[in-house]
């Protein structure tokens, strides 16, 4: 590896000045800034956590404050008038926890007071909207230039309080009043960008700021945050030596917001280059407790997540007490857009896991929640890998029987199951996905769809699931054979195994595990 060409990895850096002055790797996003300035004035952007939103806002701040040396060699350098310096008000709700009543007011007032002090103006109001209004007016009058307003993690005061709906609504209403000030002060505003993880409905948060242009799903801005394949091959070329390029793509690539290219999460890539080994770096930075509990409460099968069909309206359906499952999974980064279909002018989106990291980690979390014994679940996953590697099918049957027996009795009594076959199949899927296997569900052939296909060690394992109370004995294996599900794989693998798995809803366990080599 050519160490002379290597630079500092900007792990955890959200400050553009430090990144540039310390000679860190930097993916130039200033071309997107130029387009934003050319095409509008007030913008909103939603992206999952750790995708570079804060760094992008800080880049905007340095640009409007005319810190020219930081932009040497970047796209926007020769396209910007460096003689103009604009006042900037930046609000960041990323700090603190907003689960206490009244804290959002305390936090907002402190930030506005600091913004006034930093710019040498005093504002005295005891309410945040009025203080922001006077701050914008005073800065415009003092400098002769309109103000740039940047809001980072605009939605955190709502997300922190989702477990307390009344407080979440109070925080939402407070923010609605604060953000509406930006529109009523439009004569004093040069540019606005609000960013966050979630996209709360305009009616709930932005009813007073309805002139925002939402660029979240605008294909022109799909790469505004994150890294592309080209970025890895050019900017980070010195870091690639010794790493399997296809494996990097499998583990971390796959995020999409209707753009031509799939995106990488910067946090994953930087830690991979630092540690030189693959891991679930992004997933481990945030425990998806709320997400997992929501999926269980709504009886969402893990099988249904990969391939979920939704609309633009549902992807934006996010409000206190009314969070669509699709919106929750998409906006938090656990699902992404696989493809877009135009149905007579109405867009439909097919969602799926973005990459191996998310598929594996989320399913592992779902299993841990089901078993409520992380140690046992980890041991079982490790055992599953060894058994499949050895093609020990008797051992697999015993393993899954032991697993289903370990699910607490209370889980069944507290959760009504309407689709037993789907439930058992989803548990199998989560186990294989959580262990990191290459899985396809309901893969089509010319005679139907097998329930699950697993590719491993050059072999393909085709699964069909049945509930014995709803089918004749041996029906699962018989269906695999009769419909010729194996035919499409014959030229691409060493061996094909047909595995018919049958369950009993009375015993709540596996009753048959039949295997044939096709």
- Report the CATH number at residue 146: 3.40.50
Sheet holding 459-467, edge to edge: 438-445, 448-456, 459-467, 496-504, 509-517
Query: Of all helices (H) and strands (E), which one includes residue 104?
Result: helix 103-118
Q: Model confidence over 387-420: pLDDT tens digits?
A: 999 999 999 999 999 888 877 766 655 666 667 7
Do 458 and 325 belong to one domain? no
Q: What's residue 415's pLDDT? A: 61
Do 58 and 129 belong to one domain? yes
Reply yes or no on whether the pLDDT at 1 is more than 50. Answer: no
184 in Cβ contact with 133 (< 8 Å): yes
Place of tokens 């890998």: 385
CA distances, 39 to each of 33, 206, 226, 251, 419 (Å): 10, 21, 22, 36, 50
421 vs 89 pLDDT, higher one: 89
Reply yes or no on whether the pLDDT at 446 is more than 50. Answer: no
Distance of CA 364 to the CA centre of its chain: 16
Reply yes or no on whether the pLDDT at 3 is more than 50. Answer: no
- How many other C-beta atoms are found inside a 10 Å radius of the C-beta of residue 326? 22
Cα–Cα distance, 263 to 247 (Å, whole number): 15
253 in Cβ contact with 245 (< 8 Å): no
Reply yes or no on whether the pLDDT at 222 is more than 50. Answer: yes
Do 166 and 195 belong to one domain? yes
Provide the pLDDT confidence category of residue 287 given band limits of 50, 70 and 90: low
440 vs 358 pLDDT, higher one: 358
Q: Which residues contact 3 (CB under 8 A, 6 or more apart)?
A: none
Identify whether 176 is part of a domain: yes
Identify whether 195 is part of a domain: yes
Q: What's residue 286's pLDDT? A: 76
Q: Which of 509, 435, 428, 418 is nearest to 462 (CA)?
A: 428
Do 339 and 383 belong to one domain? no
Structural domain range at position 162: 28-221
Q: What's residue 443's pLDDT? A: 60
Do 336 and 416 belong to one domain? no
Average pLDDT over residues 101-127: 94
Reply yes or no on whether the pLDDT at 300 is more than 80. Answer: yes
Do 46 and 144 belong to one domain? yes
Q: How confident is the prediction for the chain on average, in pLDDT?
A: 90
Do 174 and 316 belong to one domain? no
Identify whether 403 is part of a domain: yes
Segment of 314-323, 335-344, 365-374, 410-419 carrying the highest mean pLDDT: 335-344
Identify whether 364 is part of a domain: no
Identify whether 281 is part of a domain: no
Identify whether 261 is part of a domain: no
508 in Cβ contact with 488 (< 8 Å): no
Q: What's residue 417's pLDDT? A: 61
Do 197 and 122 belong to one domain? yes
Last residue of a domain, one of 183, 201, 221: 221
261 in Cβ contact with 228 (< 8 Å): yes
Cα–Cα distance, 89 to 79 (Å, whole number): 23
Q: Which of 188, 98, 77, 193 is nearest to 142 (CA)?
A: 188
341: exposed, middle or buried (Cβ count in 10 Å: 0-12, 13-18, 19+): exposed
Average pLDDT over residues 367-387: 84
- Report the CATH number at residue 437: 3.40.1350
Distance of CA 362 to the CA centre of its chain: 11
Q: Would you say the C-alpha torsion 169, 174, 175, 176 has a positive or negative sign?
A: positive
Provide the pLDDT confidence category of residue 288 given band limits of 50, 70 and 90: low
Q: What share of the chain has pLDDT > 70, as a percent? A: 95
Average pLDDT over residues 37-55: 95
Do 321 and 434 belong to one domain? no
Last residue of a domain, one of 323, 352, 381: 352
Residue 56 dihedral angles phi and psi, to the nearest 5°: -65, -45
Strand-pair category, 147-152 with 88-92: parallel
Q: What's residue 172's pLDDT? A: 93
- Among the listed ranges 34-43, 82-91, 279-288, which one has the minimum average pLDDT value? 279-288
407 in Cβ contact with 424 (< 8 Å): no
Do 307 and 178 belong to one domain? no
Average pLDDT over residues 422-426: 83
Average pLDDT over residues 185-205: 88
Three-state DSSP at 46 gives strand
Identify whether 232 is part of a domain: no
Cα–Cα distance, 304 to 362 (Å, whole number): 13
Do 33 and 158 belong to one domain? yes
Domain count, the chain: 3
Identify whether 399 is part of a domain: yes
Gyration radius (Cα) of the chain, Å: 26
Do 382 and 322 belong to one domain? no
Q: What share of the chain has pLDDT > 90, as a percent? A: 66
């Amino acid at each position: 590896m050519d160490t002379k060409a290597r630079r500092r990895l900007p792990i955890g850096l959200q400050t553009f000045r430090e990144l540039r002055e310390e000679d860190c790797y930097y993916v130039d996003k200033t071309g997107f800034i130029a387009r934003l300035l050319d095409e509008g004035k007030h913008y909103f952007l939603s992206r999952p956590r750790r995708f570079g939103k804060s760094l992008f806002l800080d880049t905007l701040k340095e640009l409007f404050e005319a810190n020219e040396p930081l932009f040497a060699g970047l796209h926007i350098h020769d396209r910007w008038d460096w003689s103009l310096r604009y006042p900037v008000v930046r609000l960041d709700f990323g700090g603190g926890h907003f689960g206490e009543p009244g804290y959002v007011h305390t936090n907002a007032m402190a930030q506005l007071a600091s913004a006034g002090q930093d710019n040498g103006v005093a504002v005295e109001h005891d309410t945040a909207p009025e203080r922001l209004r006077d701050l914008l007016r005073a800065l415009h009058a003092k400098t002769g230039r309109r103000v740039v307003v940047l809001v980072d993690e605009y939605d955190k005061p709502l997300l922190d309080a989702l477990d307390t709906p009344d407080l979440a609504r109070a925080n939402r209403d407070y923010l609605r009043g604060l953000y509406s000030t930006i529109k009523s002060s439009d004569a004093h505003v040069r540019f606005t960008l609000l960013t966050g993880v979630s996209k709360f409905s305009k009616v709930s948060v932005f009813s007073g700021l309805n002139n925002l242009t939402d660029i979240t799903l605008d294909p022109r801005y799909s790469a505004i945050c994150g890294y592309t394949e080209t970025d890895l091959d050019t900017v980070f070329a010195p870091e690639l030596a010794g790493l399997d390029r296809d494996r990097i793509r499998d583990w971390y690539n796959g995020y999409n917001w209707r753009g031509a290219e799939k995106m990488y999460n910067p946090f994953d890539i930087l830690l991979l280059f630092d540690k030189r080994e693959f891991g679930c770096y992004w997933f481990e930075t945030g425990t998806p407790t709320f997400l997992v509990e929501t999926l269980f409460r709504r009886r969402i099968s893990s099988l249904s997540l990969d391939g979920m069909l939704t609309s633009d309206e549902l992807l934006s359906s996010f409000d206190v007490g009314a969070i669509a499952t699709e919106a929750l999974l998409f906006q938090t980064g656990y699902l992404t857009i696989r493809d877009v279909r135009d149905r007579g002018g109405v867009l439909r989106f097919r969602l799926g896991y973005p990459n191996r990291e998310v598929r594996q980690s989320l399913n592992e979390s779902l299993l841990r929640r089901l078993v409520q014994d992380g140690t046992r679940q980890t041991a079982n996953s490790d055992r599953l890998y060894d058994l499949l590697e050895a093609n020990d099918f008797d051992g697999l049957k015993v393993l899954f029987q032991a697993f289903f027996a370990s699910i607490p009795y209370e889980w069944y009594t507290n959760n009504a199951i309407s689709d037993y076959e789907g439930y058992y199949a989803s548990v199998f899927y989560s186990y294989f996905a959580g262990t990191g296997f290459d899985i396809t569900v309901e893969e089509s052939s010319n005679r139907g769809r097998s329930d699950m296909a697993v590719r491993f060690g050059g072999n393909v394992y085709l699964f069909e699931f049945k509930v014995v109370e709803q089918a004749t004995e041996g029906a699962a294996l018989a269906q695999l054979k009769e419909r010729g599900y194996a035919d499409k794989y014959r030229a691409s693998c060493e061996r094909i195994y047909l595995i018919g798995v049958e369950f009993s809803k009375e015993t709540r366990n596996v009753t048959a595990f039949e295997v044939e080599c096709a």
